[in-house]
Amino acid sequence: MVSDLCFIYLFLNFWFLDLLGTVEEILPNLPEGITVWGMNDSVPQGVTSLKEKLSTASDKPVPRSYHVASSLKAPHLYIFTSGTTGLPKAAVITQLQALKGSAGLWAFGCTANDVIYITLPLYHSSGALLGIGGCVELGATCVLKKKFSASQFWNDCRKYNVTVFQYIGELCRYLCKQPKREGEKDHRVRLAVGNGVRSDVWREFLDRFGNIKMCELYGATEGNICFMNHTGKIGSVGRTNFFYKLLFVFDLIKYDFQKDEPTRNEQGWCIHVKKGEPGLLISRVNEKNPFFGYAGSKKHTEKKLLYDVFKKGDVYFNTGDLMVQDQNNFLYFWDRIGDTFRWKGENVATTEVADIIGMLDFIQETNVYGVTVPDYEGKAGMASIILKPNKSLDLEKFYEQVLTFLPAYACPRFLRIQEKMETTGTFKLQKFQLAEEGFSPLKISDPLYFMDNLKKSYVPLTKELYNQILLGEVKL
C-alpha cells in the first residue's frame, strides 16, 4: 500500500510540467538531497526523467522490503493548507493519515468497478489522499481533470461512464448555476463524496441531476477528526454515536466573537454549548488521536491547539469551524470562526446571508464579510456580488429579499459589485483582502451601495454619504 501511494507523485508530475519554469529558477539553490522528478521524455538539466526510469523498470511486483513503512508516524507528504486567512502553512501528513485517507472511498461503498471523477486540485488532502489514494486502494478507475469546468462536467461524466465524483466547497453550486439543459439526469453518477455543500444547494442539486447519494465528509487537512454522513440527511455532515465518541473525542464549546476566542467561565474552563446552539468544534489530542502539526514553525502548530480546556493539562485541536448539533445528534456546519462577525450584539453567519442573496436570479456569486466602521462596535455587513451575464442589478428587489429573509442585524449595510472574485485553490472566497479594503468610495473603484431604510432600497454610496456615515450623521 505504501508503495502504491508513491504513484500519487506520478500523477502530480503531469501538473508539475506546468510549473517547471518556476522550479527551474530555484534548482541551483535547492539543498542537497532534494531530487526533482519530471514526467516527460526530455527534462531540463538537474531534473530526473521519471518516464525514462519507468521505461527501464521491471514490471514485476515491487519487492515487499520496499513497501514496508518504517513508521506510521513518519511524514508521508506535506500539504499546504489554503490561505483563506493569513499565509498558507505546510501541514505534516503522516503515513497513517495517508492510509486512513485512502480508505475513505471504500468506507462510502465504492468498489473496483467504480469510475471516479476528480476535478479537485491534487495539492489538497481531499483530491490527493481521499481521491487518488482511494482509487489506488480500491483499484478503481480514476478520471483526472486538470481544472474543474462546470459547463463540461456532465459531458465528461457521460463520456467516461463516471459513477462517483468528489466535490468541495462551491463545486455543486457552480453546477446548479449552469443553464438548464435537456437530459440532465442522463448519466451513471450514483455517489458524490465531499464537503461544504449548503443545504439549499444540496436539495436543488438532487432535484435537478437525479438520485445521487451525497456523502458529506468533514475533516480538516491537518485535523485529527473526521465525520461521515451515515444517513444522507440533507445539510448534515454526520451523526455522532457511541462508536464515533470512542474514536474521536470531540466537543462543541461556546465561542466569544467579540474577543475571537473560546469563552471561559470563572474557573477558566471552556463551556459546552447546548444542543441547537452553534459552538466551536474541538477534538481531543492524545496518544490515540495525535496531531502532527505543521512543518517548520512551532508557532503555527501551537496556534491550532487549545490547552487546559476542561481540566488542567488537556489539549484540544481547534478546527476553526462552528457546528450545531441537533436533538438527534446530527451535526451541521454553521460557519468558519474567521467568517462570522458581530453586529449590534448579534453573531452574523456569513454563509446564511450569502445563501439568501444567492437565491436572487440576477446573482452569480456572493461573498459576505464584515467591515470596520469608525465609532461602531463590531463589523457592518458587506455583500460583494457578481451579477449573472446579461442580468441587471435590481436594488429594490435586493433590499426586499434581505429584509424578508434575514433578521435586521444580518442585512448587509453595504453592497459592492465586482467583475470577478479571487478565490483560493479550493474555491473558497478570499474575504480577508476585501474586508481590509473596507467601504470607502475614495479607495474602491467598484460600484458601492448603501442600505437605505427610508427609501426601502439600496442607494449609491457617494462621497457625501460616506462622509455623513463617518461623521455619524447617517446611522447604520
| Alpha-carbon distances of 228 from 132, 225, 238, rounded to whole Å | 19, 10, 5
387 bridge partner residues? 363
In the complex, minimum distance from the CB of residue 191 to ligand NAG, in angstroms, rounded to a whole number? 9
C-beta closer to ligand NAG: residue 108 or 399: 108
The answer to whether the CB of 9 falls within 8 A of the CB of 31 is no
Q: Does 362 bind ligand NAG (CB under 6 A)?
A: no
| Three-class secondary structure of residue 424 per DSSP | coil
The residue type of 297 is S
Contact map string, positions 176 to 215, toward ligand NAG, x by CB under 6 A: -------------------------------------x-x
Q: Which residue is nearest to ligand NAG (CB)?
A: 232
d(CA 281, CA 323): 6
When asked if residue 232 is in the footprint of ligand NAG (CB under 6 A), the reply is yes
**Piece of the chain touching ligand NAG by CB under 6 A; list 37-45, 72-80, 198-206, 417-425:** 37-45
**How many Cβ atoms sit within 10 Å of the Cβ of residue 134?**
27
Q: What share of the chain is helix, strand, coil (3-state, %, to 5)?
A: 30, 25, 45
160 binds ligand NAG (CB under 6 A): yes
Q: Which stretch binds ligand NAG (CB under 6 A): 222-230, 299-307, 366-374, 435-443?
A: 222-230
Buried b (16+ CB within 10 A) or exposed e, 204-225: bbbeebeebebbbbbbbbbbbb
> Measured between alpha carbons, how far is 49 from 192 in angstroms, rounded to an integer?
36
The only residue of 11, 16, 108, 439 in contact with ligand NAG, by rule CB under 6 A: 108
Cα pseudo-dihedral 441, 443, 447, 451, rounded to 10: -40
- 129 secondary structure, DSSP code: I
Binding residue for ligand NAG, selected from 97, 229, 236, 301, defined by CB under 6 A: 229
| Binding segment toward ligand NAG, per CB under 6 A, in 117-125, 228-236, 350-358, 413-421 | 228-236
97 binds ligand NAG (CB under 6 A): no
Task: Output the nine-digit C-alpha cell for 16.
Answer: 508539475
Determine the size of the site formed for ligand NAG (CB under 6 A): 19
User: Should residue 231 be labelled a site residue for ligand NAG when binding is judged by CB under 6 A?
Assistant: yes
Q: Does 167 bind ligand NAG (CB under 6 A)?
A: no
Please give the radius of gyration of the chain, using alpha carbons only, rounded to the nearest integer.
24
Q: What are phi and psi of 364, to 5 degrees?
A: -95, -45
Distance of CA 242 to the CA centre of its chain: 27
- Using CB under 6 A, pick the residue from 13, 161, 240, 364 that binds ligand NAG: 161
Instruction: Please give the Cα distance from 456 to 414 (Å, whole number).
Output: 14
CB under 6 A: which stretch of 198-206, 226-234, 314-322, 375-383 binds ligand NAG?
Answer: 226-234
Q: Residue 132: exposed, middle, or buried by beta-carbon count in 10 A (0-12, 13-18, 19+)?
A: buried
Query: In terms of CB distance, is 275 or 388 closer to ligand NAG?
Result: 388
Residue 228 CB, nearest approach to ligand NAG (Å)? 5
Rule CB under 6 A: say whether 49 interacts with ligand NAG: no
Among 22, 35, 42, 211, binds ligand NAG (CB under 6 A): 42
The rounded distance, in Å, linking the Cα atoms of 216 and 195 is 5
Beta strand pairing call for 36-38 and 47-49: parallel
* Cβ-based neighbour number of residue 372 at 10 Å: 13
Residue number, 327 or 390, with CB nearest to ligand NAG: 390
Q: Which of residues 380-409 bind ligand NAG (CB under 6 A)?
A: 389-390
Is residue 107 a contact point for ligand NAG (CB under 6 A)?
yes
- Out of 92, 105, 132, 228, the only residue in the binding site for ligand NAG (CB under 6 A) is 228
Q: CA–CA separation, 212 vs 174, rounded Å?
A: 17
Residue 104: CB minimum distance to ligand NAG, A: 9
Stretch that binds ligand NAG, among 40-48, 165-173, 246-254, 439-447 (CB under 6 A): 40-48
| CA separation for the pair 466, 82 (Å, rounded) | 34
Stretch that binds ligand NAG, among 120-128, 230-238, 293-301, 322-330 (CB under 6 A): 230-238
391 versus 397: smaller Cβ distance to ligand NAG: 391
| Interacting residue ranges for ligand NAG, rule: CB under 6 A | 17, 20, 40-43, 107-108, 160-161, 213, 215, 228-232, 389-390
